[in-house]
Copies of this chain bind each other. A is one copy, B any other.
Amino acid sequence: MEVPDHEKFMRIAIQLAEQNVKQSAGGPFGAVIVKDGEIVAQSPNRVVTENDPTAHAEVSAIRIACQHLVTCNLEGCTIYTSCEPCPMCLGAIYWARIDTIYYGNTKIDAAAIGFDDHFIYQELERPLHERKLKITQLLPEEALIAFKLWQSTETKTDY
């Protein structure tokens, strides 16, 4: 098998980021997902164009790759992202079971131009009651019924 051309794929991610700014379409971010040396998905940041705060480049590329490959499991895939993923995107990358990440800019570079996910990292490290975003438990006994139902169901699709 040919050695994957990491720089080639990263340049495409960077190009997506640049085009997004030039077209006034959104933030300077792009991501490419590759499997077996072939691009299976690519996306710029689409938060503004799609009115979707979750449509970061990485999340959008993951969704496209999964539609394309008809799976929610991207094992064997590599993601090339023009910027170090935020906690949301990292979470998405883990849940999608992507193997490897290549990134261009750091989160420090991103903070310097106004995209600061430092606050989210800080919050995640804090116990719930010390977070700025108010979070309260409610009806735990009733909520647990759904979990017990899941455990006792044999027809479930594990994922």
On A, residues with C-beta under 8 Å from B are 6-7, 10-11, 14, 17-18, 21-22, 24, 26-30, 47-48, 51-54, 56, 59, 62-63, 66-67, 70-74, 80, 82-84, 86-106, 109-110, 112-114, 117, 119-121, 123-125, 128, 133-140, 142-147, 149-151, 153, 155-159
Contacts and interface: CB of A to CB of B under 8 A. Distances in A.
A48 B105 CA distance: 33
Closest 6 CB pairs of A and B: A104-B143, A88-B91, A17-B146, A28-B150, A28-B146, A101-B135
A156 B29 CA distance: 13
Contact of A72 (B47, B84, B102, B113): B47
A120 B82 contact: no
Contact of A134 (B14, B22, B100, B139): B100
Contacts of A83: 143
A103 B137 contact: yes
